[in-house]
Structure formats: structure tokens, C-alpha cells
Amino acid sequence: MSDWAPKTAKAKEWFESLRDQICAAFESIERDNGSDASFEYTPWQREEEGNDDPGGGTQGLMKGKIFEKVGVNVSTVRGNFPKEFAGNINGADPENPGFTATGISLVAHMHNPHVPAVHMNCRFLTTGKAWFGGGADLNPPLPYEEDTDEFHASMRAACMAHNPTYYEKYKKWADEYFYLPHREVHRGVGGIFYDHLECDDDPSWDRNFAFTQDVGKAFLDIYPKLVRKRMASDFTEEDVAQQLEYRGLYAEFNLVYDRGTIFGLKTGGNIDAILMSLPPRATWS
């Protein structure tokens, strides 16, 4: 696992750079709407008994005029999985529970129900194996087919630049993953989701890292455009009611099924950062 340390450091540096670019783009939207809202950054340290260097991260949170609540977290952690959890992670087992993980995770909930909520994350993990995972998916309370098509076109372009099979494969994975079986509904209008994109050597790491970077860049390009398109739309009390009910579904998924939530809780992550994905307001009928 130590052989991957320089790669982990390189991925960490890029995830932090992507965080800075995304936060700047979101703050620019606030400025253009007469708001001085900015991200507040809260560092945190992970704790693990017997581990002198467990790592940590930084939670970035902004509440503004356009963004009701947006969190952009970066973290780099290392240690050992609990034995009962290790068997659930690619390349780890109770006899080899060591891991490192670095990544970025973002969730935005918007004031205007016509502006889609969104989720994005990218990560690099090492256990007995090394791999990338990530993706982005759009979560509009009031879907517009045009916005859905534009978002998917951006993800498709990122995929096609690397492998002609990626988009259909990872779109299908997102459709299957972001689904609430107990409600028999999808969480949103999809996007892409990939995991366990394994790295066996330097060339495969370079390829997978380049793909992951392009997913992040595609998100940075398309999502602010969708926000600017819809942020001045008029809305009604009925629209807000639909938004809040939709947010209830979003919360249910993240608390019951989301892998990132489970991973963070099982590995001693920062609770506030892990649960920053939850909406500030929601309703259940």
C-alpha cells in the first residue's frame, strides 16, 4: 500500500484544486445575485486508536441566496477498517484491513425549486488493491428534460474521451444505484456512477486518474450553467412543497443506502461532514 503513497498525494492535491475551483464558481453565482455568502471551511482530524497518522479533512459549507445549503468536502484518511466491515470493501478483508482514501464529495440544495439539486464525488482508495470511483448525478425537484439532456451530454463527453463503453455502463450503474427500492422510485434523473476502477500499474493509474479528472471538470462546466439558467425562475408554494417532499426521498437514500455515508460512519469520519448531504428542510407526507 505504501507504493501508492505518491499517487494518493497527487490525487489529494487535485481534489483540493477541484474543490477550490467549484467553490469559486458557486461564490461567483452568489456575488452576481447581490449576496456576499462565502464558504466556511472547518478542518477536522480523524481518530483511530493506535494510529499516529489517521488523517482528516476539511468541510466546506455555504448558505446563501441561491444555494440554500451546499457542502464541498475533501478528506484524506488512512488506517484499518473494523474487521466486521473490511470484508465489504474491495481488496480488504479481516486479515488485511488497512486502507487509504482521498476524495472530494459535494451536495448542493437550492432555494429555488426550479434549480436542480446535485451530487458529485471522486475518490481514490487503496486496500489490497487500488482504485478510483466517483460520478455525478442531477436531482431536480421539478425536472426539465432540457436540463437532464445537457447534464447527461456533459457526462457522456467526459466518458467518451476515454472509453466508448463507459457512458452507457456508468449511466446504467447510476440508474441502478440511485434508486430507493422501498419507494420504487429513482432519487433523481441520473448521471454516471463508477467504482472499483482498478489500477494495476502506473499506466492504468494515469488513465483512471485522467478519467476521474475529466468527470470533475465536466461537472464544473455544466452545473453552474444549469444554476444560472433556472435561478431567476418564478415559483409557487406548490413548487416548494414538491421540492421539500423530494428532499425527503433524497434524505432517505443517503441515510439508508449511500455507500459514502456508510463508509464515513464505519471509518470514524467527521459526522457533520458525512451528514452535510442532508437537506436543510424536508417533508414527508
- CA atoms of 146 and 74, how far apart (whole Å): 31
Active-site residue, selected from the candidate residues 119, 152, 182, 186:
119
**Strand, coil or helix: what is 272?**
helix
Q: Is 152 a catalytic residue?
A: no
State residue 159 phi and psi, 5-degree precision. -70, -45
Residue pair 180/248 in contact by the 8 Å Cβ criterion = no
Task: Identify the sign of the CA torsion 109, 111, 113, 115.
Answer: negative
User: Looking at residue 116, what DSSP letter applies?
Assistant: P
Q: How many helices (H) and strands (E) does the chain have?
A: 8, 9
Exposure string (b/e) for 132-161, b if CB count within 10 Å is 16 or more? bbbbbbbbbbbebeebbeebbebbbebbee
- CA atoms of 80 and 100, how far apart (whole Å): 9
Through-space distance between the first and last CA atoms of the chain, rounded to whole angstroms: 48
Which residues does residue 72 pair with via DSSP β-bridges, in sequence order? 60, 106
Sequence-distant (6+) residues with CB within 8 A of 234 are: none
Catalytic residue positions?
Answer: 119
